[in-house]
């Protein structure tokens, strides 16, 4: 091999090494939802369809990189992102693919509501699914905070947020332990109230914050015809039977802009006799959001107020 050819091959090798180094310094691997995705470090434009991720970016001081989000049902505590400079990605379950394409994002963050559209969205930009694991609510939330912090280079801020969260959880657990109050968690939808003993909301309230259960966590009865749990309706008869000290209500209907729970859904006489207090949780916080740095703190605050 002559000297000129050796020099050419050597130059190409140096260029390839340089490119590889450039890629590794500008991208990183993120494993979420059992998939590893190569995402950009320090993205400039991010589409965020997961409100927990949105409030985490806000808490990390990186709200300026949010280029688009579902604005029609955006939670009240995130109203600063409901403005004309932020592209509306449309319905949470049916994102506007064309509008997202126009944004030309570096990264797209979704949750379970958009999981069926992940393949289509990944043709636009890298997609990470930050769905909260109901069985590991806090650890899942912390993991998502750390993932977004690594992507945005705000790890020290994330550490501070997580340390503060741990202290808050510990103090709330102590409050719940000292309280004799027992609770249930129910969801209102279209005039019906159903027990949600296995939900992420119940997991946070009972399993993380240690609020005592008025109804034991048991396997829900199954409807053999369709293989899904039979709903347990929460009404006056149920209140008389269980006599919970607190009914935490997540109003799905109100969260999505429909008719909320009727003011006198429960008989006041029944509530008084059972010594039951109804706590109306902030609908859009508990149904549309959660699993974020700010949302989990707000959720804990509402539980603390109920225990006082």
Decide if 38 contacts 126 (C-beta within 8 A): yes
Decide if 274 contacts 243 (C-beta within 8 A): yes
Q: Which of 131, 161, 186 is the last residue of a domain?
A: 131
Do residue 288 and residue 226 come from a single domain?
Answer: yes
Do residue 110 and residue 230 come from a single domain?
Answer: no
Output the pLDDT for position 225. Answer: 55
Residue 225 domain flag = yes
Do residue 123 and residue 210 come from a single domain?
Answer: no
Residue 87 domain flag = yes
Q: Which of 131, 164, 191 is the last residue of a domain?
A: 131
CATH of the domain at 125: 3.40.50.1980
Output the pLDDT for position 8. Answer: 38
Q: Taking the CB of residue 253, how many other CB atoms lie within 10 A of it?
A: 18
Output the pLDDT for position 62. Answer: 97
Residue 144 domain flag = no
Give dist(CA 297, CA 167) in Å, integer.
Answer: 11
Do residue 283 and residue 186 come from a single domain?
Answer: yes
- For tokens 């279209």, the residue is 190
Residue 32 domain flag = yes
Give dist(CA 78, CA 3) in Å, integer.
Answer: 64
Mean pLDDT by 10 residues, the chain (308 residues): 44 37 70 85 96 98 97 95 95 93 96 92 95 91 96 97 98 98 97 94 96 82 60 96 98 95 95 97 96 97 96
Output the pLDDT for position 247. Answer: 98
Output the pLDDT for position 9. Answer: 40
Cβ neighbors of 89 (< 8 A, separation 6 or more) are 47, 49, 68, 69, 70, 71, 95, 96, 99, 100
Residue 171 domain flag = no
Q: Which of 100, 131, 162 is the last residue of a domain?
A: 131
Q: At what angle do helices 293-307 and 155-178 cross, to 10 degrees?
A: 20
Total number of domains in the chain? 2
Outline where DSSP puts E strands in the chain.
Answer: 27-32, 35-40, 46-48, 66-69, 87-88, 107-110, 127-129, 182-189, 192-195, 212-213, 222-223, 228-229, 246-251, 277-280
Residue 35 domain flag = yes
> Domain containing 229: what range?
176-307
Do residue 32 and residue 109 come from a single domain?
Answer: yes
């Amino acid at each position: 091999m002559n000297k000129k050819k050796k020099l050419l091959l050597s130059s190409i090798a140096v260029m390839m090494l340089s490119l590889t180094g450039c890629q590794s310094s500008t991208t990183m691997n993120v494993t979420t939802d059992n998939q590893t995705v190569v995402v950009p470090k320090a993205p400039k434009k991010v589409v965020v369809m997961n409100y927990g991720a949105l409030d985490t970016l806000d808490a990390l001081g990186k709200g300026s990189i949010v280029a688009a989000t579902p604005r029609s049902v955006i939670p009240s505590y995130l109203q600063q992102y409901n403005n004309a400079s932020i592209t509306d990605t449309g319905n949470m379950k049916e994102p506007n693919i064309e509008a997202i394409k126009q944004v030309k994002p570096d990264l797209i963050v979704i949750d379970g509501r958009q999981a069926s559209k992940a393949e289509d969205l990944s043709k636009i930009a890298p997609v990470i699914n930050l769905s909260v694991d109901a069985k590991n609510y806090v650890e899942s939330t912390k993991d998502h905070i750390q993932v977004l912090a690594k992507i945005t280079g705000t790890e020290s801020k994330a550490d501070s947020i997580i340390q503060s969260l741990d202290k808050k959880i510990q103090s709330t657990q102590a409050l719940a332990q000292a309280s004799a109050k027992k609770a249930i968690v129910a969801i209102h939808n279209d005039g019906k109230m159903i027990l949600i003993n296995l939900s992420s909301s119940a997991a946070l309230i009972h399993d993380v914050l240690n609020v005592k259960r008025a109804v034991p966590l048991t396997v829900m009865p199954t409807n053999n015809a369709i293989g899904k749990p039979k709903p347990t309706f929460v009404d006056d008869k149920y209140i008389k039977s269980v006599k919970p000290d607190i009914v935490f209500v997540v109003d799905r209907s109100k969260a999505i802009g429909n008719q909320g729970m009727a003011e006198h859904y429960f008989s006041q006489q029944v509530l008084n006799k059972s010594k039951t207090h109804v706590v109306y949780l902030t609908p859009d916080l508990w149904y549309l959001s959660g699993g974020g740095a700010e949302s989990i703190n707000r959720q804990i605050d509402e539980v603390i107020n109920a225990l006082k």
